[in-house]
Structure 1
Amino acid sequence: MKALFVAITLLTAVTASAQNSQPMPTPPGQGFGTMPPTSTTSEMRADDNEFRRGRRGTMVVIEREEVEQRLARLEQLLGEANERAGRGNGKGKLREAYEELNDLRDLIVDAPDVRSYNPRPMPHQPAPMPPPAPVYQPIADAMLRSAMKAMDREPFADDKMNVLEDVADNNYFLVSQVIQVLPQFKFSKDRIEAVRVLWSRVLDKQNGYQLYNAFQFSTDKAEVKRIISAG
């Protein structure tokens, strides 16, 4: 505010000096100022582009930071003009100070009244729809038959299990399809391992009880139950 007061005082004194056609007496220890050169508004604005870049394109409530920056710039210009006035070369600085003050006045005049300031609310944006849940399909019968043929060609249980693991990595199964695979393995321990490999890829887990009939001994059935219960 100190800078704004100084600017108004100095510009008022310059205007009075021009009207009386007499130089304004200078206080002791200070220089003197002159009226800014006569120029059209467009010319002055063209010369002052450097100081107008901070002005807002959209009318908003005045920001404290912008006003403080403009006042600081105005104070600087007036100080430089005051130093150069005694040497007769402060005319340009006074014109720049006049333009800066004019811009600040326009900024204040154009700003909305804070009491009635009501920024336009952003249009309501509906929440985006969640992506659809992925749909999983069990392995196609033709692909399952192809996988079982590949297992038939392997003589050892470990090799059959390798084929089964590869197929399980990229496919899902129904309990009925798991039951079709189990006869590929001769021993109960291998069949139990096949259930363990496929169970995480089974879609109809509610039908898991059907797997019990694929095993003869109670201990095997109990182990299958533990696999099913573990999820």
Structure 2
Amino acid sequence: MKALFVAITLLTAVAASAQNSQPMPPPPSQGFGTMPPVSSGPQQQVRPEDNEFRRGRRATLVVVAREEVEERLARMEQLLGEAYEKSGRGNGGRNKLREAREEIEDLRDLLAEAPDVRSYNPRPMPAPQQPPMPPPAPVYQPIADAMLRSALKAMDREPFADDKMNVLEDVANNNYFLVSQLLQVLPQFQFSKDKLEAVRLMWSRVLDKQNGYQLYNAFQFSNDKAEVKRIISG
């Protein structure tokens, strides 16, 4: 009982002291009053760029992909249309509106992260590879006059037409001719058949085929002229 009395006496003294004590003034840097209540719910953080968007101060030119912006705008238009249709049918409309808001936020982030047009310097596209240039066409030159004279002398030393033709074949395999040069070779042969054979042998190596008509004068008979025409027309 004695212990209970002591406890009651102490509690009474503490209560009286609390009623008589004066509140301590706040520090000089703080004002009087009570602190406003702190909400227990989660607070949404406001980004500086959000305020800039709302105030209309983001006038920086940026580079964005036009196709992506158009696709997102079309998506938002679709979602808002669906939300309008479902606004009177439970939570479906609110869900669509939330999705539309998310699309708008994604689009805003896209614009915020787009590069400044003043510093936009995309990597240049590699130049298309050009097809290799074809090699230049070879330039053919007719046999030199000195070489032709040497070949004619070698033919002069041969008594038979077949041997002369062998010399001419060797020369023709490695050289080209003009019609005027071919006409210098024909007198090496006596008979028309050998001359016609020389024309057949050399014609594929003649450079100025447009002058082939000059060969007609080297033959006397019409049949030979007709054969010359067949050869140069083939």
Return the TM-score normalized by structure 1: 0.47
Return the TM-score normalized by structure 2: 0.46
Bigger Cα Rg = 2
